[in-house]
Amino acid sequence: MEIAPKIVVDDHIHFGKPVIKGTRVPVDLILGKLAGGMTYQEVMKEYEIMHEDILAVLDYAAKTISTEEIKLVGGNA
């Protein structure tokens, strides 16, 4: 099922976590590689994905985080 442009979930692929459509490449893996310092070009080459796939991953992550609710538990804020 497509949950965002170019991002899908399927119970039979990567335990139902979001992946890039047409691949088995998890969204969280791409985010982690970029956060770890890999360039777009390095990620594209290593995982055989397109520039548009990386942009779709970043867009999905941004939209997901923008709807996240943070609830502090105990302590001072």
What CATH number did the domain enclosing 15 receive? 1.10.10.10
Quick one: which of 47, 72, 70, 71 has its CA closest to 57?
A: 47
Per the domain annotation, does 7 fall within a domain? Answer: yes
Q: Is residue 75 part of a domain?
A: no
If we measure between CA atoms, which residue out of 68, 21, 69, 70 comes closest to residue 30? 21
pTM of the model: 0.86
Quote the number of domains for the chain.
1
Average pLDDT over residues 66-74: 88
Q: What is the mean pLDDT of residues 29-39?
A: 98
With cut-offs at 50, 70 and 90, classify the pLDDT of residue 77. low
Q: Which residues pair with 8 in a beta bridge?
A: 2, 19
* pLDDT at residue 70, rounded to an integer: 87
Q: Give SS3 for 23.
A: coil
pLDDT of residue 1: 95
Domain range for 12:
2-64
Question: Is 77 part of a structural domain of the chain?
Answer: no
The verdict on residue 76 lying in a domain is no
